[in-house]
Amino acid sequence: MMDADAIVVGGGLAGLAAAIAVAKAGLSTIHLAPAGPPDRRTSALMMPSVEYLQSAGLIGEPGAFGQKLSQIRIIDATSRLLRAPETVFNAKEAGLGAFGWNFANVRLTEAFQASMEALPNLRTIAQPLSQFELGADGPEITLADGSHLRAPLVVGADGKKSLVRAAAGFRARENGFTQAALVCDLELGRGLDGASVEFHYPNGPFTLVPAGGNKANLVWIDEREVLKQAQALSKEALTALLLEKSQRLFGGITLATPTHIFPLSTITVDHAGANGVVLVGEAAHAFPPIGAQGLNLGLRDVADLSAALAATDRSQPDWAVRLSEDYAHRRADDLSRTGGMVDTLFRSLLADMLPAQALRAGGLWALKLLPALRKQAFAVGMGSR
Ligand SMILES: Cc1cc2nc3c(=O)[nH]c(=O)nc-3n(C[C@H](O)[C@H](O)[C@H](O)COP(=O)(O)OP(=O)(O)OC[C@H]3O[C@@H](n4cnc5c(N)ncnc54)[C@H](O)[C@@H]3O)c2cc1C
């Protein structure tokens, strides 16, 4: 006896979006979403993702709680022999009003949760999954309180350390980095005027993303130890350090929130679906926040899950197995292309070898000068398919 058509595990943004998509496809859905601390990250979402969120009814007008991203400035702040020129990408050049929008994850979470309320076939249980088994009759789940649930389809959206991924036997490759990301909100002397500004330092980028008015979200990637030391500084000393790293381009800086540090790693899976189990979001893929790809890719997972659901005949007894295979097939190219692109970009940013520096500097010169290449770069960065 099945408890639902589908169980979605994980209450992050990918899990919320997936639970809504599955319920909207008409499946009786249980969403396992244990309460956790608020997600202090922000997400730069490219236009295709924003359009998806609007068409899926997950958000209304992005301007109500997000900030438009109309320019990307890349500043080589290394003292390397071969330095790249400052490169500026304008959305107008790509024929767009904006590359995308920057949102606080807590605001996206609120918007997604609000759109869940209208779905009577979606039930949320605020408990974690403690055990997952793939029996002869399909997936079986044990909750933290010892109760059991069964459904033909399970969506694993339980993040980087996904229990669903491990227990369902998905082969994953993981690679930890010594770098981490420090995030916080800043009040600047001068606003960013819609520009996301990336200072490329030898240990990783220091990025200021527009957050409305003179506010900016900082995403600073560096060695974990360097970030921990920065975090331990007095407010005045940290402010002085951030001012120096931003090359004083935006006047004074005031810390608007406490700092948070996120460890960085990459995770890739061979297949994102099999045996009635599909993986979405960081359960299926994780990489450093370079080129704002993580949640953008997670939302493309959800869009493909919706497409696979629409293409599946659920009157067949093995529908969930076939759906999981169809989903894996739909996701394969995008996952391998995006993962490869971010990995190459990250390594080229950190590489100390002269050939890699030459390639990167040459690449940015080419992007600065060659319109056709810029057009291609826009398409890749936006996640166009
Ligand atoms: C500093 C930083 C900046 C970033 N900036 C961007 C950006 O600008 N643009 C972009 O597209 N991406 C960005 N990303 C990536 C993006 O934040 C992530 O890809 C996205 O938030 C992942 O969402 P998720 O739901 O897959 O995972 P998570 O947010 O990790 O959610 C996983 C959920 O699963 C739950 N869970 C775990 N185990 C269990 C269990 N056993 N049972 C039930 N639930 C469980 C957890 O409680 C959690 O709620 C950034 C990441 C970082 C670190």
Is 6-63+105-174+266-351 assigned to CATH 3.90.1150.10? Answer: no
Residue 250 Cα to ligand 1 midpoint, Å, equals: 30
Is the minimum distance from the CB of 34 to ligand 1 under 6 angstroms?
yes
Residue ranges of domains in the chain: 6-63+105-174+266-351, 67-103+177-263+366-382
User: Which atom of ligand 1 sits closest to the CA of residue 16?
Assistant: 25
SS3 content of the chain, % helix, strand, coil (to 5): 40, 30, 30
Residues sharing a CB contact under 8 Å with residue 232, sequence separation 6 or more, in sequence order? none
Residue 383: predicted pLDDT:
59
The per-residue pLDDT for 96 is 85
Task: Show the low-confidence residues of the chain (pLDDT under 50).
Answer: 354
Residue 203 pLDDT: 84
The residue whose CA has the least distance to atom 26 of ligand 1 is 281
For residues 339 and 350, give the distance between their C-alpha atoms in angstroms, rounded to a whole number.
Answer: 17
pLDDT at position 34? 96
Separation of CA 234 and ligand 1 centre (Å): 29
Distance CA 244, CA 247 (A): 5
Cβ of 180 closer than 6 Å to ligand 1, yes or no, is no
Q: 159 CA distance to ligand 1 centroid (A)?
A: 6
Nearest ligand 1 atom to the CA of 281 is 26
**CB distance 149 to ligand 1 below 6 Å:** no
- At 200 the pLDDT is 86
108 lines ligand 1 (CB under 6 A): no
Choose which residue among 107, 158, 217 to substitute to test ligand 1 binding: the one with the highest number of ligand atoms within 8 A of its C-beta: 158
| Ligand 1 centroid – CA 158 distance (Å) | 8
- Out of 295, 331, 338, 345, mutate this one to test ligand 1's pocket (max ligand atoms within 8 Å of CB): namely 295
- Output the CA 12–ligand 1 centroid distance in Å: 6
Q: How much is the pLDDT for 370?
A: 53
Q: Do domains 6-63+105-174+266-351 and 67-103+177-263+366-382 have the same CATH topology?
A: no
Question: Which residue puts its alpha carbon closest to atom 27 of ligand 1?
Answer: 159
Cβ neighbours of 27 (radius 10 Å): 20
Q: How far is the CA of 213 from the centre of ligand 1 (A)?
A: 27
Ligand 1, atom 30, residue with closest C-alpha: 159
pLDDT at 76: 81
Task: List pLDDT tens digits, range 129-163.
Answer: 999 999 888 899 999 999 999 999 999 999 999 99
Cα separation values, 63 from 13, 50, 100, 185, 332, Å: 19, 11, 11, 19, 33
Phi-psi domain of 251 (left: phi exceeds 0; alpha: psi -120 through 50; beta: other): left
pLDDT given for residue 365 in this prediction: 53
Minimal-distance CA residue to ligand 1 atom 36: 158
* pLDDT score of 79: 66
State pLDDT tens for residues 211-266.
Answer: 999 999 999 999 999 999 999 999 999 999 999 999 999 999 999 999 999 999 88
Pairing of strands 153-156, 6-9: parallel
What's the DSSP call for residue 84? P
Q: What is the pLDDT of residue 189?
A: 96
277 beta partners: 154, 274
The CATH number of domain 67-103+177-263+366-382 is 3.30.200.20: no
The tokens for 45 are 């979402």
The token pair at 29 is 């859905």
289 lines ligand 1 (CB under 6 A): yes
Backbone φ and ψ for 370, nearest 5 degrees, come out as -105, 110
- d(CA 239, CA 17) in angstroms, rounded, equals 37
What pLDDT score does 344 carry? 72
Protein residue with its CA nearest to atom 39 in ligand 1: 158
